[in-house]
Structure 1
């Protein structure tokens, strides 16, 4: 999929643009529950148009967003600058964090990597002591990864895994009938 072609309409989905106050509040609450207290250095892997990056900055974290799509990055920079935030957002490979972080956050991206286990190992290696990996993933329309697949891949790499189902329509802007979940892993 060419994400540059998707950038212009990406935020139209309620869970992408977070324009609906109910959806935005639901994501803000989930992030606050999954992340340590601010300020934390957070790598937003595959940041897209920066909706979660913006929530992180608003919560007092120091996000660094990376996305492969120059058009998505351009929109993310504009979105955050318009809200008065200027975190680092760059074009790059989300599998290669640009430094060490307290949190690696990834939403709906792990499934696209040719070797998800290698990507997870790289993300874990980029975590500072006491850091955490926060993955928001799912299985929809034949795409994605199940919670069991992600937890099974992570289990030998981490000391603790919490899987949280995410069926709440407030997160997605509509009822869902597929598998969506978060995994918080502590190395």
Structure 2
């Protein structure tokens, strides 16, 4: 899939314009935004920490974290997503940092983080196991890996098919909690999974597919 990098970037750049229209992307509704904020507080360190948001999109989760005092670095392959994230941060008066780059190998040099967050990203990656190893290597001792994942009824944005060759991706269509836990467990000291399928407020609507959060500590 590495040969499709340009197509993948173009796909997400094109999605940036209306990405926030999805309730759980833009977090425009107060109840949806509040529910994400509540869960992030439960999952992430209570004290301000350096947090890497891998595949940050338009930065909605990054900004919730920044509003809680975390020092956030968001990374996304799509420059238009990053542009929107930066504008949102500036408008909100928040100091989150957003970088254009490959979320599998975030361009943050030797920086280490108290937490790494990734939401709905693993299904897009050509080597998700390598990404998991990379992200855990970026954690400080005792740092948290937070993955919001699931298996989707559709793979794409608003029903638009993903790039040609996407069916070759290892976790195309998402990854179940059992499979992801098996991949993460050798990399961490502790791990838990929380189901999110029944939380209709979180998604702005009822969902019938598998959705969950995996929270692990290095």
Q: Which segment is superposed worse, 111-120 or 6-15?
A: 111-120
Match of 1:79?
88
- Is 1:55 the counterpart of 2:67? The answer is no
Deviation at 1:130, TM superposition (A): 1.2
Confirm or deny: 8 A CA contact 1:66 1:89 kept in the other structure: yes
Are 2:123 and 1:111 equivalent residues in the alignment? yes
Query: What TM-score comes out, normalization by structure 1 length?
Result: 0.97
Whether 1:186 aligns to 2:198 is: no
Aligned equivalent of 1:176: 207
- Tell me, which stretches of 5 or more residues in structure 1 are unaligned? none
2:31 counterpart of 1:22:
yes
Q: Bigger radius of gyration, 1 or 2?
A: 2
For residues 1-187 of structure 1, the aligned pairs below 5 Å read 1=8, 2-97=11-106, 98=108, 99-141=111-153, 143-167=173-197, 168-187=199-218
The Cα of 1:38 is off from its aligned counterpart by 2.8
Q: Is the 8 A contact 1:137 1:145 kept in 2?
A: yes
> RMSD of the TM alignment (CA)?
0.9
Contact 1:165 1:180 in 2 (8 A): yes
Q: Which stretch shows the higher mean deviation, 105-114 or 65-74?
A: 105-114
- Runs of 4+ aligned structure 1 residues displaced above 4 Å come to none
